[in-house]
Chains A and B, each alone.
Chain A
Amino acid sequence: MAGKKVMLIMPTFWDVIAPSVGIVALRSFLQQFGHKVRTVNLNTERKLWHTQNKYFETLGKYVSCTSLIPRLGTELLGFHMNARVFKDDLPGEYSKYIETLLREHFQHFLNNIASGEMDAFIEDLDKVIDAHFEMLVEAIPALMSDSPEYVGCTALSSTLGTAMFLLKEIKERFPEVKTVLGGPGPYAGIGEGSENMTRLAEKCTFVDKIIFGEGELVFKKYIEEGHEGKKIISAKTFGMEPLVMDTLPHLDYSDLKMDGYFNIGIGASRGCPYMCSFCSEAKMWGSFRKMSTERIAEEIKAQKEKHGKDKFYFTDSLLNHSLTPLVRLMLEEDIRIKFDCYLRVDEHAQNSKMTDLWAEGGLSRVRLGMESAAPNVLKIMNKKITPEEQAKALRCLASSGIRTTTYWIAGHPHETESDFQETLEFIRENKDYLYELDLAVFYFYGDGEIGLSGFARDFGGVEERFGSEFRDLSVFKYYRLSELRPSRKEAFDRAIRFMESAKELGIPCNPSSVFDLMAAERRWEDLRGVKGCAK
């Protein structure tokens, strides 16, 4: 059987901390069977990437609270692009829908905008998106230069708009090419059998197959044997067992411009062994699986030798499962790297001997999901940690010189003003141990969160977020809790107070540019008295 020609694209917008492990893992797997697979990350194309900044700058002309823009704007841009792709399906409602999106995202910050001004606002934002789409059209000849038989795009919430636009254009120009959408899922919790996934399949008439979840075996089967059945397929469709991580080939980054990345990406596990209320990771990947320590070390060694880079970024939901044995093995084998990973506060993170060992083994930065520092909220979230444990971990990690990027949520269901104040107080007390804060306003997806039924029970049930009349533009049905407490307005107010407090304390918060990154790095060097490397 002749190998198939496949093009896998990581569309805009996805941070370029490291190359996209998803498409590279797929490429590496398929190549073993003689298929010719090319990967492209559009996010390293500077002009394409810059669209996001332009969109945020445009929002900043109308929205008074600019500090909220990077977080809220990312989701908004995704929704807006999806609507722009399908504008012709409902032209009469398009502007009304975008206005609804804007007002829903920025709430009272847009109260003073009159309808005439709103039209100009939408027009300005549309211009940014249209310019982006034009650049994508210009990129198509280069993307198709190898005449691929299959073109696949990773569809995440922030990349779906570009993915759909590109595949639509490619299908129009090259109808014989099979188009595929894939990835872990376009929105948290939207699984194979969900109503939203079915809607996506119906809307995307220009897409031949949608493969979400673990894609290696499914994609291989599809390109080798074809599939005439339903559009959405997964490992479950074919009764395939989850892959054993140690059997995966080394990641082949050879066709990506590695000079444009801060780190080499590596994924040592799939899924998550924890069940936090706001998350759907454990549901999405099914059973939690990890590579053996020896296999991870072998991958690191091979990538380091091949690319001459010594900075690694683990894409795993959490690395607690392998961190200590991996560090020990790397020290034993004298594998010297700097690495960055997601970590959960556990007993090891509260032990300075352990954090010193991690630092010695190259751990330079951890990303900790703190979410809140109020015991009441942590309990509701099912985080299984206490503020005391969080504080101890921060101090141990920071004292070992490990950068502590911390994620927080404002307005989680049941969070009271007093809970919120506890969080602010915690941050104040631990400011010198915090490398940076990353704040999100609580988001309810209503389609897959582990705490979904409890939230719905406590807050008057679930209702549609934007109105069913816009569904031809929104693609998905989005949800909100009918009587959420704290209210959206209160959550926004807390988010602003959180950011103001961070500013007052001099802690970098919601970094969104390289300048923020440099500032954070400089502050950390000053606090620790060391000179380190960024990101």
Chain B
Amino acid sequence: MDSGISTWLIRWFENNAGMSGQDIENNIDTNYFEKGWIDSFKFIAFIMDIENNFGIRFSNDEFQDKGFSTIKGLAGIIRERIDGR
């Protein structure tokens, strides 16, 4: 997993989901909706923050990727998007 990207994602959850960094790190492969860390409302803000921070724009097809629901999966998708930019 890309450590720079995942660190940013973990930090985001720390600041926005009220979770400790350790808790988040222990669950990077867990569905964050199931954990109740964020809801649909916050997810939209989350995506906007990712796009602004990494200078990328996800395509509508990419939202169908199941990896979006975990920090590990999302880090991979962001990396691919940056590399393909």
Contact = CB atoms under 8 A, between A and B. Distances in A.
Interface of A: 16, 44, 46-47, 49-50, 53, 259-262, 506, 514-520, 522-523, 526, 534-535
B64 A44 contact: no
B43 interface: yes
B63 A262 contact: no
Contacts of B25: none
B23 interface: no
B62 to A, nearest CB: 8
Contacts of B60: 506, 518-520, 522-523, 526
- Among A506, A516, A522, A523, chain B packs the most CB atoms within 10 A around the CB of A522
Nearest to A506: B60
A261 B64 CA distance: 23
A260 B41 contact: yes
B33 A46 contact: yes
A522 B39 contact: no
B63 A50 contact: no
A522 B36 contact: no
26 contacts: A16-B40, A46-B33, A46-B36, A47-B36, A50-B34, A50-B36, A53-B34, A259-B41, A260-B41, A261-B41, A262-B40, A506-B60, A514-B43, A515-B63, A515-B64, A517-B40, A518-B43, A518-B44, A518-B47, A518-B60, A518-B63, A519-B64, A520-B60, A522-B58, A522-B59, A523-B60
A46 B63 contact: no
Interface in B59-74: 59-61, 63-64, 68
Contact of B68 (A49, A260, A515, A535): A515
A514 B40 contact: yes
B20 to A, nearest CB: 18
Given A260-B41, A518-B63, 14 more contacts: A46-B33, A46-B36, A53-B33, A514-B43, A517-B44, A518-B43, A518-B44, A518-B47, A518-B58, A518-B60, A519-B64, A522-B58, A522-B59, A522-B60
Interface string B28-39: 000001101001
B39 A46 contact: yes
Contacts of A53: 33-34
Contacts of A526: 60
Contact of B63 (A47, A260, A261, A519): A519
B48 to A, nearest CB: 10
Contacts of B33: 46, 50, 53
B36 to A, nearest CB: 4
Contacts of B34: 50, 53
Nearest to B44: A534
Contact of B39 (A260, A518, A534): A260
A47 B34 CA distance: 7
Contacts of B68: 515
Contacts of B64: 515, 519
Interface string B1-17: 00000000000000000
B36 A262 contact: no
Nearest to A524: B60
Contacts of A535: 44
A522 B62 CA distance: 10
- Among B33, B47, B60, chain A packs the most CB atoms within 10 A around the CB of B60
Contacts of B40: 16, 262, 514, 517
Contacts of B58: 518, 522
A164 to B, nearest CB: 25
